[in-house]
Chains A and B, each alone.
Chain A
Amino acid sequence: MGRLIFHRAAMSIPLLLIVSLIIFGLEAIVPGDAASTILGQNATPQSVAALRGQLGLNDPWVVRFGHWLGGALHGDLGTSIISGVDVTSSLNGRLAVTLSLLVPTILLSAVAGVALGFASAVRGGALGRFIDVVSLFGFALPSFWVALILVGFFAVHLNLLPATGYQDLAASPAGWLKSIILPVLALSLQGITYVAKQTRDTVMEVLETDYVKFLRANGVPERSVRYRHVLRNAAIPVVTSLGLVSVGMLSGAVFIENVFVLPGLGSLATQATLDHDIPVILGVGVFFTLCVIAINLLIDFAYGLLNPKVRVS
């Protein structure tokens, strides 16, 4: 158990390295660089060269990577080539927004997904078929489109909730809640349906196992069979699927933040992409990677609690 978590934590270092290396390496092999991007197409070669020197772009990319890495280890992720703002501090300001979106979404996906999936597997019949169909649509409908439909109905048509914008949790809890309801709903549709489908499949499998038959045949009450034994044994695959879907939500968050104009990491990364602002993208990459590592650690921890084989060995 401890070893597993240590193993996972140790893997986060190569993971961070790989993410930053991919971005750095690609930037180095592609012709054209930040200097000409900043100055635009009408810039003179002299001004580009001057800016290159100023940005340190004349060094080989390995050296620049070393510089960046050295800074990153001290919490300094460089400065934006567009605004010149310190990347670390601008990301810190936006992390809360992205987490306000992600954490409720993951929780909602877990609770609603497991409840729906479990109920449909145990009840079967119409509810089961309904979950099957809904999970197909949850899988098929692009989240940004769902978000627009939600905005069209709840914000434009009913005027119940704000269409865009974000309120700080500390400043106005009610405003915060209002501002994240629609984004969370849009983003969790896929998560809920995916977790529900996985739960349904796993629970149906566990219901067919010999030990469930054995417990039933020897008089253990159905309630205990379901909520103690089936739920517990179905939990491991369900937790795995929750982990996968949570990592996938980072992509969805980028789209959703743009739809709702939330000032989070995703919308920052999008703007940086349009501006060719590589240091900012790198910074977001580091933050997102840390999010993935945190999710994986939580999943491993859950494994340890759920699986006696992990716990005992």
Chain B
Amino acid sequence: MTTATDVPVRRRGVLRAVLATARGRITAGFLLLLFACCLLAPVIAPADPLHQNLQEILRTPSGAHWLGTDSLGRDVLSRLLYGGRSSIVGILEGVAAQLVVAVPLGVATGYLGGRFDRFVMRLADIVMSVPVIVILLAILAIFDHSIAAAMITLGVLGASGMMRIIRGTAMTVRQELYVSAAELLGLSRTQIIFRHILPRCRGVIIVQTSLFAALAIGIQTGLTFLGLGPPPPAATWGGMVNEAATTLSTQPWLLAPSGGLIALTVLALGVLGDTVRDVTAQNHTSSGGLRVKPARRRPDVAQAPVPEGTALLSVRDLSVSFLTPRGEVEVLTGVGFDLDAGQTLGLVGESGSGKSVTARAVLGLLEANGAVTGGSVIFDGRDLTRATRRQLAALRGTRIALISQEPMVALDPSFRIGSQLSEIVRSHARLSREAARRRVLELMEMVELPDPEEMAKRYPFQISGGMAQRVAIAAALAGSPDLLIADEPTTALDVTVQADVLALLRRLQRETGMAVLLVTHDWGVVADICTHVAVMYAGQVVEQAPVEQVFGAPAHPYTAALMASSPEKAPRRTPIDAIAGAVPPPGAHPDGCRFRDRCALSAAECADDDIPLVRLNEERVSRCIRTELLQAQP
């Protein structure tokens, strides 16, 4: 699932995208309403905020006083509206000061880097450690309780945090290749900053601004609560909480309107910031940044009969769906193949074909938003799709093991190699520390790691990719599994290292007799190590056969076309026989044969119905109804 799907969603502005969400509308609406009401306080407030009425003190809400009255009989609602003005002005002052400092510095340090960046960052480190509250108190003492001065100071001091984050974003964007391309096309630095860097920082700036505004409200109300703001008769939110505190035992209600409104405002700002973050994350990643619940297994119409075959692994009619932001998408449809002990089955396909999903489904390790919706995975006579979590866990490592594509990230960076291997060894068998250590060294020698004693003391980041893959293989073989699932095990490696690792796998397989399910996109790797091939296209197996038959004469047009796309197969410096178009994304497959749009042999009947797997001989199937035409070709 590495490709972006080609669903035509127009990019929207951040603001419009935020307002498209319910959270965004509610919080932005609330904040706007609050701002407007406080701004218009002189017009809409029901009473004079300073007007005392000692006949009507400490009243609970009523028609005359919607939020009650305080200890001097003043209307609470009116005081809240007037008090909000100073809070809002405070936020605006703080936010403005922060933006003025943080945005230019953040963008400049992030994009330009160098000595200037180091100097500013050193300074920012120091400022981050300044105890802000003491500076604010000093400011209030020196500037005679000027909240404005305090909020501006808060903005300047708080700018270091925002600057850091903008800098980080700008640095990431600077690494993007389109910035390099713009530089090569002769754009000046200023142009690049304004056209390419700043637009990408917009999201984090809005997020940080709303979070800072929330913090500023907390500080502003806190300072007025301490009585460090405008002197008493004036209404402030913090001051109102303080007044409520004096009547805590007689009229606790008074705490509710002032504290509640502060909390609501902070909450709205915080949620708004989160919403902006989610929305901008979605705009820049294909996955949509969504964590979604798994799709449910489809209720079986009829219990699939366990086939009488004796294969070690037998995948039957396996379907897998993922729940995406655009709904449930089926990425595997009726996938099936068999694998016997000692065999190596190559699962071949391009990205989007579903080959890696198949491998993970066999292991029962699909992502959180994916689930098996039908079919079975029969391993040694047992259906793994129906096994409990505990049963699956018992199989892993001892019966089925995995090595994956990126050896460097497959090892836990916090533990030494020896300790990781030892843990895996000891989770398969009760061994003493010393016995486990010996077994680890034995495993490391088995995968031809040079100098095992010394290697065991290293951390994963201290070894090369090829060595890391050997460690991963050692880990996978620790429990002597019957089936090894290798998901693109050499794709991230250099060719000379790849050849070494393939040679190692071949030797180990010969020695142990295990079966290997090898996911790859490389026909050369298939030719090197596989005994059988299953070719996948758009979530289906389109052909399965022993390698000799597939390389000899492909029985599915896609297999033939994919093989012909290799530059090896065309004379030098002449056009390669390329397949037009691209693999359709999951959920957008054409009816009938999924390959027919790109197929040279397609005919009207290819669109009619789902194409079944056609058995060509004892060991060979093809999902093509015109396969004899292909065989007839020279």
Q: Are B414 and A233 in contact (CB under 8 A)?
A: yes
Interface segment, B57-65, B199-207, B263-271, B503-511?
B263-271
Chain A residue contacts of B409, Cβ below 8 A: 209-211
Q: Tell me the minimal C-beta distance from B258 to chain A in angstroms.
A: 8
Residue of A nearest to B419 (CB): A228
Q: Does A216 contact B (CB under 8 A)?
A: yes
Interface string of A272-313 (1 = CB under 8 A from B): 111111100110110011011100100000000011110010
Query: How far, in whole Å, are A144 and B363 apart by their CA atoms in the complex?
Result: 52
Please indicate which of the listed interface residues B132, B255, B263 has the most CB atoms of chain A within 10 Å of its own CB. B263
Q: Which of B380-433 contact A (CB under 8 A)?
A: 393, 396-398, 400-404, 406, 409-416, 423-424, 427-428
In the assembled complex, the CB of B94 is this many whole angstroms from the nearest CB of chain A, namely 14
Complex Cα gap A144–B400 (Å): 57
Which of A144, A156, A247, A292 sits near B225, CB closer than 8 Å? A144
**Which of B133, B412, B479, B485 contacts A229, CB < 8 Å?**
B412
- Find the B residue at minimum CB distance from A28: B142
The reply to whether A229 and B138 form a contact with Cβ atoms under 8 Å apart is: no
Which chain A residues lie closer than 8 Å to B459 at the CB level? Answer: 308-309, 312
User: Quick one: closest B residue to A312, CB to CB?
Assistant: B459
Instruction: Give every chain B residue within 8 A of A312 (Cβ-Cβ).
Output: 459, 462
Residues of chain A contacted by B415 (CB below 8 angstroms): 229, 232
Q: Is A214 touching B428 in the complex (CB atoms < 8 A)? A: no
Judging by beta carbons under 8 Å apart, are A255 and B126 in contact? no
Distance in angstroms from B486 CB to nearest chain A CB is 11
Question: Bound state CA distance, A307 and B413, in angstroms?
Answer: 9
Q: From residue 450 to 479 of chain B, which have CB atoms closer than 8 A to chain A?
A: 459, 461-462, 472, 475-476, 478-479
Contacts of B249 in A (CB 8 A): 152, 156
Q: Which residues of A contact B427 (CB under 8 A)?
A: 219-221, 224
| Cα–Cα, bound, A222→B462 (Å) | 27
Q: Which of A10-18, A85-93, A165-173, A176-184 contacts B (4 or more CB under 8 A)?
A: A10-18
B137 contacts partner chain A, Cβ-Cβ < 8 Å: yes
B228 lies within 8 A of A270 (CB): yes
Contact assessment for B131 and A220 in the assembled complex, using a CB-CB cutoff below 8 Å:
no
Q: Is A58 an interface residue (CB 8 A)?
A: no
Asked if B613 CB lies within 8 Å of chain A CBs, one says no
A273 touches B140 (CB 8 A): yes
Knowing A152-B248, A255-B225, the reply to whether A285 touches B397 (Cβ < 8 A) is no
Contact B129 A276 (CB under 8 A): no
Interface residue B139 (Cβ < 8 Å from any Cβ of A): yes
- Is the Cβ of B141 less than 8 Å from the Cβ of A281? yes
Q: Hey, which chain B residues are within 8 Å of A275, CB to CB?
A: 141
Inter-chain contact B226/A270, CB cutoff 8 Å: yes
Asked if A11 contacts B428 (CB within 8 A), the reply is no
A152, A220, A228, A288: which contacts B397 (Cβ < 8 A)? A220
Contact mask for chain A residues 193-204; partner B; CB cutoff 8 A; 1 contact, 0 none: 000000000001
Q: Is the interface of A mostly helix, strand, loop or mixed?
A: helix
Stretch at the interface among B214-222, B542-550, B555-563, B572-580: B214-222
A12-31 toward B: CB 8 Å interface, digit per residue (1/0)?
A: 00110011001100110010
Roughly how many angstroms separate A23 CA and B427 CA in the complex, as a whole number? 60
Interface residues of A in 145-160 (CB under 8 A from B): 145, 148-149, 151-152, 156
Closest to B399 in A: A219
Closest-CB distance, B406 to chain A (whole angstroms): 6
Give chain B interface residues in 199-250, CB to chain A under 8 Å: 214, 218-219, 221-222, 225-228, 238, 241, 244-245, 248-249
CB-CB nearest in chain A for B131: A288
**Are B252 and A272 neighbours in the complex by a CB distance under 8 Å?**
no
Least CB distance from B122 to A in Å reads 8
Q: Is the CB of B125 within 8 A of A148?
A: no
- Answer yes or no: B73 CB below 8 A from chain A CBs: no
Chain B interface residue count, CB cutoff 8 Å, equals 80
Also in contact, A308 and B413, with CB within 8 A (given A218-B479, A221-B427, A272-B137):
yes
Complex: how many Å from CA A22 to CA B401? Answer: 62
Interface flag for B262 (CB, 8 Å): yes
Point out the residues of chain A lying under 8 angstroms from B194, CB to CB: none
Return the contact of A149 from the options B131, B255, B267, B478 (Cβ within 8 A). Answer: B255
Could you tell me the distance between the alpha carbons of A232 and B249 in the complex, rounded to whole angstroms?
48
Pick the residue among A148, A156, A219 that contacts B241 (CB under 8 A): A148
Q: Is A140 an interface residue (CB 8 A)?
A: yes
Q: In whole angstroms, how far apart are the Cα atoms of A136 and B214 in the complex? A: 12
B259 to chain A, nearest CB (A): 4
Cα A62 to Cα B411 in complex, Å, equals 57
- Confirm or deny: B304 has a beta carbon within 8 angstroms of a beta carbon on chain A: no
Judged by a CB distance under 8 angstroms, whether B143 is at the interface is: yes
Residues of chain A in range 120-166 having any CB-CB distance to chain B below 8 Å:
136-137, 139-145, 148-149, 151-152, 156
Beyond A11-B126, A251-B219, A308-B459, whether A224 also contacts B133 by CB under 8 A is: no
A15→B129 contact, CB < 8 A:
yes
Chain A residue at minimal CB-CB distance from B398: A219
Contacts of B396 in A (CB 8 A): 216-219
Give residues of chain B (157-190) contacting chain A, Cβ–Cβ below 8 Å.
none
CB distance from B207 to the nearest CB of A (A): 14
Q: Is B130 an interface residue (CB 8 A)?
A: yes
Q: Which residues of chain B come closer than 8 Å to A228, judged between CB atoms?
A: 423
B-side contacts of A292, CB under 8 Å: 129-131
A262 at the interface (CB under 8 A from B): no
Known: A217-B363, A218-B401. A289 touches B130 (CB 8 A): yes
**A278-B255 contact, Cβ under 8 Å, with A136-B271, A255-B225:** no
Query: CB distance B126 to A144 under 8 Å?
Result: no
Does B423 contact A156, Cβ atoms closer than 8 Å?
no
Q: Does A258 contact B (CB under 8 A)?
A: yes
Asked whether, in the complex, the Cβ of B138 is within 8 Å of the Cβ of A23, the reply is: yes
* A and B contact pairs by CB, cutoff 8 A, 10 listed: A141-B259, A148-B248, A152-B248, A152-B255, A219-B479, A251-B132, A266-B133, A270-B226, A277-B141, A308-B461
Instruction: List 5 tightest A-B contacts by C-beta distance, closest first.
Output: A219-B397, A217-B402, A288-B131, A145-B259, A140-B267
